[in-house]
A and B are shown apart, each in its own frame.
Chain A
Amino acid sequence: MSLITGILEQLINGLRTGSIYALIAIGYTMVYGIAKMINFAHGDIIMVGAYSLYVFTAILELPAAAAVILTVAVCAALGIVVERIAYKPLRNAPSLAVLITAIGVSYFLQNTALLIFKATPIPFGSIINISGIRLGNINISGVTLVTFVATAVMMVGLTLFVNKTRAGSAMRAVSEDRGAASLMGINVNKTISMTFAIGSALAAVAGILYICQYQSLQPTLGALPGIKAFVAAVLGGIGNIPGAMLGGLLLGIIESLSRAYISTQLADAIVYGVLVIVLLVRPSGLLGKQKTEKV
Chain B
Amino acid sequence: MNKTSAGKTPAKYGKIVLNILITLAVYAVMMVVIQGGMLSRQMTSIIIPCCINVMLAVSLCLLVGYLGELTLGHAGFMSIGAYAGALLTNYLDMPPVAELLIGMLAGGIIASVFAVVIGLPVLRLKGDYLAIVTLGFGEIIRSVINSLEFTGGAKGLSGIGTYATYKNFTFVYIFVILTILLIANLVHSRHGRAITAVRDNYIAAEAIGIHVGRFKTMAFVISAFFAGLAGVIYAHNVGILKPANFDYNKSIEILVMVVLGGMGNIKGSIIAAIILTLLPEVLRSAADYRMLLYSIVLIAMMLFNNSRFKLAIVEKRNLKKAAEIQKEGE
Residues of A within 8 A of B (CB): 32, 38, 86, 89-90, 92-97, 99-101, 103-108, 110-112, 114-115, 227, 230-231, 234, 238, 263, 265-269, 272-273, 275-276, 279-280, 283-285, 293, 295
A97/B146 in contact, CB under 8 A: no
Give the contacts of B127-168 with A (CB-CB under 8 A).
127-129, 131-133, 135-137, 139-140, 143-144, 146-147, 153-154
Chain A residues, Cβ within 8 Å of B302: 90, 93, 97, 100-101, 104
A276/B136 in contact, CB under 8 A: yes
Residues of B within 8 A of A (CB): 64, 70, 121-122, 124-129, 131-133, 135-137, 139-140, 143-144, 146-147, 153-154, 203-204, 248, 252, 255-256, 259-260, 263, 288-289, 291-292, 294-296, 298-299, 302-303, 305-307
Top 10 nearest A-B pairs (CB, nearest first) are A107-B295, A272-B136, A104-B298, A265-B147, A104-B299, A108-B295, A93-B306, A269-B143, A111-B292, A101-B302
A-B contact number at CB 8 A: 125
A108/B299 in contact, CB under 8 A: yes
A231/B136 in contact, CB under 8 A: yes
Bound complex: CA A234 to CA B127 (Å):
12
Chain B, interface SS category: helix
Bound complex: CA A121 to CA B189 (Å):
53
User: What are 25 A-B residue pairs whose CB atoms fall within 8 Å in the complex?
Assistant: A93-B305, A95-B127, A104-B299, A107-B291, A108-B292, A110-B291, A115-B288, A115-B289, A227-B248, A230-B132, A231-B136, A234-B129, A238-B129, A268-B139, A269-B140, A269-B147, A272-B136, A272-B139, A272-B140, A276-B136, A280-B122, A280-B124, A280-B125, A283-B126, A284-B129
CB proximity of A28 to chain B, nearest CB, Å: 11
Chain B residues, Cβ within 8 Å of A100: 255-256, 259-260, 298, 302
A104/B147 in contact, CB under 8 A: no
Partner of A97, one of B128, B143, B248, B259: B259
CB proximity of A227 to chain B, nearest CB, Å: 7
Chain B residues, Cβ within 8 Å of A269: 139-140, 143-144, 147
CB proximity of B121 to chain A, nearest CB, Å: 5
Given A89-B306, A93-B306, A100-B255: A231 in contact with B299 (beta carbons within 8 A):
no
B252/A103 in contact, CB under 8 A: yes
